[in-house]
Amino acid sequence: MTTAFGNERPADGAKRGDALGRWIGRHPVGALVLAVVVIFALWLVLAPWPPGFEAIFGKKRLFINALFNGITLGGLYFLVATGFTLIFGLMRNVNLAHGSLYLFGGYMGYEATQWTGSWLFSYVIAFISCAIVGVAMQFLIFRRMEGEDLRQTLVTLGLSIVFSDLMVWVWGGNAIQIDTPDWLLGPVSTPIVVAVKSSGEAVFLRYPSVRLVIFAAALVIGIGMWLALHRTRIGVMIRAGVDDRDMLSVLGYRVQLLFVIVFAFGAGLAGMAGIVGGTFQSISLGEDSHFLLASLQVVIVGGMGSIPGAALGAIIIGCAEQFGQTYFQNYATVLTFVIMVVVLAIRPQGLLGRR
Q: Cα–Cα distance between 53 and 59 in angstroms, integer?
A: 9
Q: Cα–Cα distance between 133 and 108 in angstroms, integer?
A: 12
Q: Does 159 bind other proteins (CB under 8 A)?
A: yes
Q: Cα–Cα distance between 162 and 165 in angstroms, integer?
A: 5
Q: Which is nearer to other proteins, 31 or 141 (CB)?
A: 141
Sorted by sequence, the CB contacts under 8 Å of residue 75 that are 6+ apart come out as: 214, 215, 217, 218, 219, 314, 318
| Residues 328-347: x where in contact with other proteins by CB under 8 A, - otherwise, as a string | -xxxxxx-xx--xx--xx--
250's enclosing H/E stretch is helix 245-250
**What's the min distance (Å) between Cβ of 291 and other proteins?**
11
**What's the min distance (Å) between Cβ of 82 and other proteins?**
16
| Residues 291-330: x where in contact with other proteins by CB under 8 A, - otherwise, as a string | --x--xx-xx---x------------------------xx
Give residues 212-251 in contact with other proteins (rule: CB under 8 A): none
Phi and psi torsions of 197, nearest 5°: -70, 165
Q: Which is nearer to other proteins, 54 or 149 (CB)?
A: 149
Sorted by sequence, the CB contacts under 8 Å of residue 246 that are 6+ apart come out as: none
Q: Does 158 bind other proteins (CB under 8 A)?
A: yes
| Residues 94-133: x where in contact with other proteins by CB under 8 A, - otherwise, as a string | x-x-------------------------------------
Phi and psi torsions of 107, nearest 5°: -65, -40
Q: Which residue in 153, 180, 281, 326 binds other proteins (CB under 8 A)?
A: 153
Q: Does 157 bind other proteins (CB under 8 A)?
A: yes
Q: Does 136 bind other proteins (CB under 8 A)?
A: no
Q: Which residue in 31, 48, 149, 226 binds other proteins (CB under 8 A)?
A: 149
Contact 101, 270 (CB under 8 A): yes
E strand segments, 210-347? none
Q: Which is nearer to other proteins, 109 or 266 (CB)?
A: 266
**What's the min distance (Å) between Cβ of 321 and other proteins?**
10
**What's the min distance (Å) between Cβ of 297 and other proteins?**
6
Q: Does 348 bind other proteins (CB under 8 A)?
A: yes
Q: Does 155 bind other proteins (CB under 8 A)?
A: yes
**Site residues, other proteins (CB under 8 A):** 92, 94, 96, 141, 148-151, 153-155, 157-159, 161-162, 164-166, 169, 289, 293, 296-297, 299-300, 304, 329-334, 336-337, 340-341, 344-345, 348
